[in-house]
């Protein structure tokens, strides 16, 4: 293997895409892929030094391949959705109540990227769509969420702020040990906010502690959902708030994105029950839409 190389050629388009597929399968965050791709190409071509000097070339190719990724910096976001180990901004619309709304229109993913998902990874395409409906429903419910009880709105606002903070980390590829507890807290706060809004007493809220499984049951008892079974199932997989406070697991990007989308689903469905319009519920009744892949969701 050559350590100090000359002017070796970059990979062909086919070789470059194969390297990206490998990095995606390994769960490598998008912002780390230009450097990692250069390393892989150096190993494959036998010219490590030249490949590393070509990192700028790889960065330009990634801007073309995934133009939705903020390789030059990140912007403010409300929520995010993820596919193939890449997280995208989700900026919901300011108009509400439209049954024909298309969440993909509000995800900062380009048409070529969507078409690639549709053609090569259809399950990832549909999961991105489901996440988009969860995010839009959450946003719409938040806007329509009103209560005379100050704690109700404060808990919801804190939860959404935490989701936003975690989403920024995912998009920037800068996850840390705070994510599991933060997402567990967001889920707990929204569930308790809904219960309080629907007439639960402070004593009943306190009795639930930090048990998300019992919280999901309590919410379902107050307000049912057509996906109660799935909400319960997903809630049982979320981080345990107290446990991760003292022993937080070190998640890789793919694992962090999994926890985020599971949290997004549970939070969105808690709020769907308290809102006048639920786009996700309409979608799952559409026979032209595939069922969500719950086996791979968990």
SS (H, E, C) the chain: CECCCCCCCCCCHHHHHHHHHHHHHCCCCHHHHHHHHHHHHHHHHCEHHHHHHCHHHHHHHHHHHCCCCCCCCCCCCCEEEEECCEEEEECCCCCCCCCCCCHHHHECCCHHHHHHHHHHCHHHHHHHHHHHHHHHHHHHHHHCCCCCCHHHHHHHHHHHHHHHHHHHHHHHCCCCCCHHHHHHHHHHHHHHHHHHHCCCCHHHHHHCCCCHHHHHHHHHHHCCCCCHHHHHHHHCCCCCHHHHHHCCCCCCHHHHHHHHHHHHHHHHHHHHCCCCCCHHHHHHCCCCCCCCCHHHHC
Nearest Cα neighbor of 40 from 24, 57, 23, 60 is: 23
Q: Which domain holds residue 34?
A: 13-65
Do residue 270 and residue 170 come from a single domain? yes
Nearest Cα neighbor of 294 from 230, 208, 239, 215 is: 230
Do residue 220 and residue 88 come from a single domain? yes
Do residue 60 and residue 88 come from a single domain? no
Largest separation between any pair of C-alpha atoms in the chain? 73
Q: Is the dihedral of CA 153, 155, 161, 163 positive or negative?
A: negative
pLDDT recorded at residue 184: 97
- Cα(115)–Cα(92) distance, integer angstroms: 21
- State residue 26 phi and psi, 5-degree precision: -85, 0
Do residue 288 and residue 244 come from a single domain? yes
Is residue 73 included in any domain, yes or no? Answer: no
pLDDT recorded at residue 97: 47
Do residue 91 and residue 184 come from a single domain? yes
Do residue 139 and residue 219 come from a single domain? yes
Point out the domain boundary residue: 65, 91, 106. Answer: 65
Q: What is the mean pLDDT of each run of 10 residues along the chain (298 residues)?
A: 52 94 91 86 81 80 88 64 93 58 88 95 95 92 88 94 93 92 97 97 95 97 97 96 92 95 98 91 91 88
Do residue 58 and residue 141 come from a single domain? no
pLDDT recorded at residue 65: 92
Is residue 240 included in any domain, yes or no? Answer: yes
State the residue for tokens 């509000």. 106
State the residue for tokens 């975690």. 166
For 295, other C-beta atoms within 10 Å of its C-beta total: 6
Could you tell me whether strands 86-90 and 79-83 are parallel, antiparallel, or unpaired per DSSP bridges? antiparallel
Q: Is the dihedral of CA 250, 255, 260, 262 positive or negative?
A: negative
Q: What are the structure tokens assigned to 178, written together?
A: 């705070």
Do residue 94 and residue 233 come from a single domain? yes
pLDDT recorded at residue 123: 94
Domain count, the chain: 2
């Amino acid at each position: 293997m050559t350590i100090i190389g000359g002017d070796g050629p970059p990979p062909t388009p086919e070789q470059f895409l194969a390297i990206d597929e490998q990095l995606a399968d390994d769960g490598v965050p998008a912002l780390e892929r230009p450097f990692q791709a250069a390393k892989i190409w150096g190993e494959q071509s036998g010219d490590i030094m030249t490949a590393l000097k070509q990192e700028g070339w790889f960065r330009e190719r990634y801007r073309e391949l995934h133009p939705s990724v903020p390789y030059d910096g990140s912007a403010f976001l409300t929520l995010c959705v993820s596919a193939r180990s890449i997280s995208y901004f989700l900026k919901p619309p300011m108009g509400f109540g439209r049954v024909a709304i298309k969440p993909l229109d509000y995800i900062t993913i380009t048409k070529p990227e969507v078409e690639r998902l549709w053609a090569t990874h259809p399950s990832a395409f549909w999961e991105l769509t489901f996440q988009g409906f969860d995010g839009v429903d959450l946003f719409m419910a938040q806007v329509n969420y009103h209560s005379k009880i100050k704690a109700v709105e404060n808990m919801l606002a804190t939860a959404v702020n935490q989701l936003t903070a975690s989403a920024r980390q995912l998009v920037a590829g800068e996850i840390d040990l705070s994510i599991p507890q933060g997402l567990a807290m967001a889920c707990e706060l929204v569930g308790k906010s809904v219960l309080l809004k629907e007439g639960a007493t402070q004593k009943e809220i306190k009795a639930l502690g930090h048990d998300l499984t019992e919280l999901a049951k309590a919410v379902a008892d107050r307000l049912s959902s057509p996906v109660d079974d799935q909400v319960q199932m997903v809630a049982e997989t979320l981080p345990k708030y107290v446990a991760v406070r003292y022993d937080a697991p070190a998640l890789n990007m793919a694992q962090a994105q999994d926890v985020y989308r599971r949290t997004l689903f549970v939070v969105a469905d808690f709020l769907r029950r308290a809102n006048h319009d639920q786009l996700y519920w309409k979608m799952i009744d559409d026979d032209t839409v595939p069922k969500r892949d719950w086996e791979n969701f968990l």
